[in-house]
């Protein structure tokens, strides 16, 4: 293709983008002029529905290790009544060492997030023990390394069942209960940088996490006039047991043949690193301390800012506030409204 044709294509592409942007702007203006319900602008803050977690009931799926345990420890430290859910009682032994013995503000439940009916039983058990749940943390997840193109249907069923259907079941179970109690409530889902930056090679995991981010973004719009706040937590590399996920795979969903090789990483997804250099991983409790929407409204922001701020946490260490002002997305309001 000659240079003239390339320039013509660039001009036409630019005109199409400009026309699309103008159309969205006109549609929004007309909707507001007609007094239609307006959705929040990207980057606008969502007012916190909970400003203090003391004596609040917090249910954390996958709460016995990793990020879930980190969140549980921080919530307990701030005075919340913490409920940790996991697949079996044996997994709680190490987790309980981090809490006082026979603590009245701590409760454990055996819960498989893929069990739809089990969600209702778990909610009933928590309400019987502590009362209605104020904060739901959809944290349970499995780390499949299979690619989207080569993964088996059993891989898809297991990966989507835990990483996506788990949060969906949680929302379906607890939103009606939270609306009924009418006091402040919050739903948080732990996603992943793979949910906004695909190309890691773990295709099934990436698809599930992208959908989980979309779920929380949509809930933010739908629940904005209610007593329920929402957040999507997008941590970077963290020291957890997610690499041991295969040991928890149900027998019915185990593959008959060995898994296909993982797809080649895309360079922009972290596939290329300097020789001998390892990406830094952060401790789970540090991740837990970042879940503090009750003291900082920015944790409840949604649309672009929620995702971008959390995404930028993957490699910032102590420079959280400074690094959170940068974003890979050129249309993100944080790039324009905050100094870097």
Up-side HSE of residue 153: CA atoms within 13 Å toward CB? 1
Residues with catalytic function = 205
Residue 211 has a CB neighbour count (10 Å cut-off) of 17
Task: Specify which residues 109 forms β-bridges with.
Answer: 85
CB 269 within 8 Å of CB 198:
yes
Burial class of residue 274 in the structure, from the number of CB atoms within 10 Å of its CB (0-12 exposed, 13-18 middle, 19+ buried): exposed
Angle, helices 166-181 vs 203-222, to 10°: value is 20
Residue 126 has a CB neighbour count (10 Å cut-off) of 23
Angle at 299 between CA 145 and CA 31, to 5 degrees: 100
For residues 72 and 97, what is the distance between their CA atoms, to the nearest angstrom? 13
Max intra-chain CA distance, the chain:
76
Phi then psi for 258, rounded to 5 degrees?
-60, 150
CB 145 within 8 Å of CB 206:
no
């Amino acid at each position: 293709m000659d240079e003239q044709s390339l320039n013509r294509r660039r001009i036409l592409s630019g005109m199409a983008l400009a026309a699309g942007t103008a159309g969205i702007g006109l549609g929004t203006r007309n909707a507001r002029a007609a007094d239609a319900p307006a959705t929040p602008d990207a980057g606008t803050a969502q007012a916190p529905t909970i400003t203090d977690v003391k004596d609040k009931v917090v249910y954390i799926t996958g709460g016995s290790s990793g990020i879930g345990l980190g969140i549980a420890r921080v919530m307990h430290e701030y005075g919340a009544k913490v409920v940790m859910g996991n697949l079996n009682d044996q997994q709680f032994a190490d987790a309980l060492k981090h809490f006082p013995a026979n603590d009245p503000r701590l409760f454990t439940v055996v819960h498989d997030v893929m069990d739809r009916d089990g969600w209702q039983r778990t909610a009933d058990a928590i309400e019987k023990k502590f009362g209605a749940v104020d904060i739901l943390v959809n944290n349970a997840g499995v780390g499949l390394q299979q690619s989207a193109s080569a993964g088996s249907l059993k891989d898809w069923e297991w990966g989507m069942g835990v990483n996506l259907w788990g949060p969906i079941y949680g929302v379906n179970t607890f939103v009606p209960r939270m609306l009924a109690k009418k006091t402040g409530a919050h739903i948080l889902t732990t996603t992943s940088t793979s949910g906004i930056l695909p190309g890691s090679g773990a295709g099934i995991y990436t698809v599930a996490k992208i959908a989980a981010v979309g779920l929380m973004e949509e809930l933010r719009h739908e629940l904005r006039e209610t007593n329920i706040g929402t957040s999507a937590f997008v941590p970077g590399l963290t020291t957890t047991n997610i690499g041991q996920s295969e040991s928890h795979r149900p027998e019915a969903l185990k593959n008959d043949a060995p898994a296909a090789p993982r797809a080649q990483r895309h360079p922009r997804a972290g596939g290329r690193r300097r020789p001998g250099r390892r990406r830094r991983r952060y401790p789970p409790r540090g991740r837990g301390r970042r879940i503090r929407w009750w003291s900082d409204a920015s944790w409840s922001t949604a649309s672009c800012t929620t995702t971008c701020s959390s995404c930028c946490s993957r490699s910032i260490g102590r420079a959280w506030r400074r690094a959170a002002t940068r974003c890979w997305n050129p249309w993100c309001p944080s790039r324009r409204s905050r100094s870097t």
